[in-house]
C-alpha cells in the first residue's frame, strides 16, 4: 500500500514540474503561435538563479524561512529574461515564416545555455539546506520527503491560479481573444503586442517557477533545460499545442508513465514516451485537448 502511495506521489511530483514547464510553453504557443525552443533554458535560468540566491543566503546564515522566500527569485528572473527576449528578438518575427521563429529560438537556446555556463560555471549548484529543512512525512511504515509534497502543492496551486487568471480575469479574456483571432482582436482595440509580451513573460515565469521549486530537490546542472524541453514537448503534443487543460492532462500522463517506466521498463522509458507522443499525433493530430 505504502509503495503504491509513494509511486503516486512521485508521479504527481513529475507531473507538477512538467506542468509548470509545459504549461508555459503551451500558453506561449497558444497565444503567439511560436514554439519556443529556448523554453527549457528559461526553466534552467529559474533553477540557477534560485540556487545562487539561496546559496548566498545560506552563506549569510539566513534562517530557513528566508530561504523559502528567496526561491521565487528564479521565477522572476526567468520572467525578466523572457520579457527582454520577446521585446527585442522575437517581435520582428511575427510576420515571418515559422522556420525563422524556430531558428531564432534555437539560437537563443545555444546562447542561454552558454550564458548559464559563463555566469555560474560548469559545476552543478545545489541547495540541500532548503530540502533538508522540511524533513519527511510518514506514509504507512515508510517516510516521504516533505519537500516533494511542497512541489506537488505548488504545481496544483499554479494550475488553479492559471485557470482563474485565464478564465476569470479581463486579462484572460484578452489573452483568449488574441489566441483565437489575432486580427479580429487587434481590430477591436486589443493591444496585441502587449498581450504577446504578457503571455511570453507569464510563460517564462512558469518555466522559471518550475526550475526554482525543483532546484532544492535536484541540483541545477548544465543541460537540464534541453532535457526538460523535450519532455515538455511530449506533454504538449499529447495534450494539444496551445491548450492548458491539455498541458495538465499531458503532464499527468507523462508523469505516470515515467514513474511506471522507471520501475518496470527503465530501458525503454523515454522511447515509450516518444512513441506515445507520436501515436497521439497520428490518432488525434491536434492532441487530446487541442483545436485543429
Chain contacts with other proteins (rule: CB under 8 A): 35, 37, 89, 92-93, 96, 98-100, 102-104, 106-111, 113-115, 117-118, 226, 230, 233-234, 237, 241, 266-271, 274-275, 277-278, 281-282, 285
Q: Among residues 96 and 194, whose Cβ is nearest to other proteins? A: 96
**Does residue 74 sit in helix, strand or coil?**
helix
Q: How far is the CB of 213 from other proteins (least distance, A)?
A: 26
Nearest to 22 by CA among 221, 249, 292: 249
Q: Among residues 100 and 167, whose Cβ is nearest to other proteins? A: 100
Phi, psi of 125 (to 5 degrees): -105, 135
Q: How far is the CB of 16 from other proteins (least distance, A)?
A: 23
User: What distance in Å separates the CA atoms of residue 12 and residue 111, rounded to the nearest whole number?
Assistant: 32
User: What distance in Å separates the CA atoms of residue 247 and residue 216, rounded to the nearest whole number?
Assistant: 24
Asked whether 186 and 192 are in contact (CB, 8 A), the reply is yes
Q: How far is the CB of 257 from other proteins (least distance, A)?
A: 13
Residue identified by cell 511570453 is 200
Environment class of 267 (CB within 10 Å of its CB; exposed 0-12, middle 13-18, buried 19+)? exposed
Asked whether 116 and 44 are in contact (CB, 8 A), the reply is yes
Q: Among residues 87 and 156, whose Cβ is nearest to other proteins? A: 87
Q: How far is the CB of 57 from other proteins (least distance, A)?
A: 29
DSSP codes, 83-141: HHHIIIIIGGGTTS-HHHHHHHHHHHHHHHHHHHHHHH-SSPB--HHHHHHH-EEEETT
Q: Among residues 96 and 168, whose Cβ is nearest to other proteins? A: 96
Q: Among residues 154 and 241, whose Cβ is nearest to other proteins? A: 241
Q: Among residues 102 and 260, whose Cβ is nearest to other proteins? A: 102
Helix axes 224-239, 244-264, angle to 10 degrees: 120
Helix (H) or strand (E) holding 144: strand 142-145
Q: How far is the CB of 254 from other proteins (least distance, A)?
A: 12
User: What distance in Å separates the CA atoms of residue 58 and residue 55, rounded to the nearest whole number?
Assistant: 5
Q: Among residues 33 and 176, whose Cβ is nearest to other proteins? A: 33
Q: How far is the CB of 156 from other proteins (least distance, A)?
A: 28
Amino acid at each position: 500500500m505504502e509503495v503504491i502511495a509513494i509511486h503516486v506521489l512521485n508521479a504527481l511530483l513529475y507531473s507538477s514540474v512538467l506542468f509548470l514547464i509545459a504549461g508555459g510553453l503551451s500558453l506561449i504557443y497558444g497565444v503567439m503561435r511560436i514554439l519556443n525552443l529556448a523554453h527549457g533554458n528559461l526553466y534552467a535560468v529559474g533553477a540557477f538563479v534560485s540556487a545562487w540566491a539561496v546559496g548566498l543566503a545560506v552563506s549569510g546564515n539566513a534562517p530557513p524561512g528566508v530561504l523559502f522566500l528567496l526561491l521565487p527569485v528564479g521565477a522572476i528572473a526567468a520572467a525578466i529574461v523572457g520579457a527582454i527576449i520577446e521585446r527585442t528578438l522575437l517581435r520582428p518575427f511575427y510576420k515571418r515564416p515559422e522556420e525563422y521563429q524556430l531558428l531564432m529560438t534555437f539560437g537563443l537556446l545555444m546562447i542561454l545555455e552558454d550564458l548559464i555556463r559563463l555566469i555560474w560555471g560548469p559545476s552543478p549548484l545545489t541547495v540541500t539546506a532548503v530540502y533538508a529543512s522540511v524533513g519527511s512525512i510518514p506514509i504507512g511504515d515508510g517516510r516521504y520527503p516533505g519537500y516533494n509534497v511542497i512541489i506537488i502543492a505548488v504545481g496544483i496551486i499554479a494550475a488553479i491560479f492559471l485557470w482563474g487568471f485565464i478564465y476569470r480575469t479581463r486579462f484572460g479574456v484578452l489573452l483568449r481573444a488574441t489566441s483565437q483571432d489575432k486580427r479580429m482582436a487587434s481590430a477591436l482595440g486589443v493591444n496585441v503586442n502587449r498581450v504577446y509580451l504578457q503571455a511570453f513573460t507569464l510563460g517564462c515565469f512558469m518555466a522559471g517557477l518550475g526550475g526554482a521549486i525543483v532546484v532544492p530537490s535536484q541540483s541545477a546542472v548544465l543541460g537540464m533545460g534541453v532535457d526538460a524541453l523535450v519532455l515538455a514537448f511530449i506533454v504538449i503534443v499529447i495534450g494539444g499545442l496551445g491548450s492548458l487543460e491539455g498541458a495538465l492532462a499531458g503532464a499527468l500522463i507523462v508523469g505516470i508513465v515515467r514513474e511506471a517506466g522507471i520501475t518496470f521498463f527503465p530501458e525503454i522509458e523515454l522511447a515509450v514516451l516518444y512513441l506515445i507522443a507520436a501515436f497521439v499525433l497520428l490518432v488525434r493530430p491536434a492532441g487530446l485537448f487541442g483545436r485543429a
